[in-house]
Amino acid sequence: MLDAAALLEKHRAKGVLIDTNLLVLFLVGTVNRQRILNFKRTSDFTTADYDLLVLLINRFGRLIATPHVLSQASDLTDLSGNELATIREAFKVLVEQAEESYDSSRVLVADPVFRRLGLADAAIARVCSRGVIVLTNDLDLYLALQERDIDSLNFNHLRPLAWETLL
């Protein structure tokens, strides 16, 4: 596998598929950076993580999504009050700008990743097998993709590095 900097360059013009947890971080941070620290689904992240994620998304230029990841992210961004309306609008804009790629569920349940990791991760594996890179913080998904020699970036590996200089 290539190192992270080489993967960033290799996939720069192709876009990136952002896994669910990071997509939730992106949406919550877009609505209210300070909310990252005390929202149940993003409390393991920091505002610096959000900044790094934004830099990475900008580096790739376009987002690729699966309906499964989008559905999960929509369900997991259950803010309240005015923030709920704001995050729904941010989600709408994201969906309108993203390139959606998918396979039928019948195809996905036949993929070995489905048995181990479920439908959403099987969808990610299938899309990434067509030359799309995923950015994830899910170690099990990352390892499953590595086993298949599919390009992937583990966000947790990037967090401690000074990536701003590479971007």
3-state secondary structure the chain: CCCHHHHHHHHCCCCEEECHHHHHHHHHHHHCHHHHHCCCCCCCCCHHHHHHHHHHHHHHCCEEECHHHHHHHHHHCCCCHHHHHHHHHHHHHHHHHCEECCCCHHHHCCCHHHHHHCHHHHHHHHHHCCCCEEEECCHHHHHHHHHCCCCEEEHHHHCCCCHHHCC
**What pLDDT does residue 160 have?**
80
Residue 82 near residue 64, CB atoms below 8 Å: no
Q: What is the CA radius of gyration of the chain?
A: 15
The tens digit of pLDDT for each residue in 61-77 reads 889 999 999 999 999 99
pLDDT digit string (tens) for the chain, length 167 residues: 458 878 888 888 789 999 999 999 999 999 999 999 999 999 999 999 999 999 999 988 889 999 999 999 999 999 999 999 999 999 999 999 999 998 999 999 999 999 999 999 999 999 999 999 999 999 999 999 999 999 999 999 888 875 555 55
User: 135-146 pLDDT, tens per residue?
Assistant: 999 999 999 999
Give the pLDDT score at 1: 44
CA atoms within 13 A on the CB side of 104: 2
Whole-structure pTM value? 0.91
Tell me, what amino acid is at 58? N
Query: How far is 124 from 102, CA to CA, in rounded Å?
Result: 9
Q: Which two tokens stand for residue 82?
A: 């005015």
Average pLDDT value over all residues in the chain = 91
Q: Which amino acid is at 100?
A: E
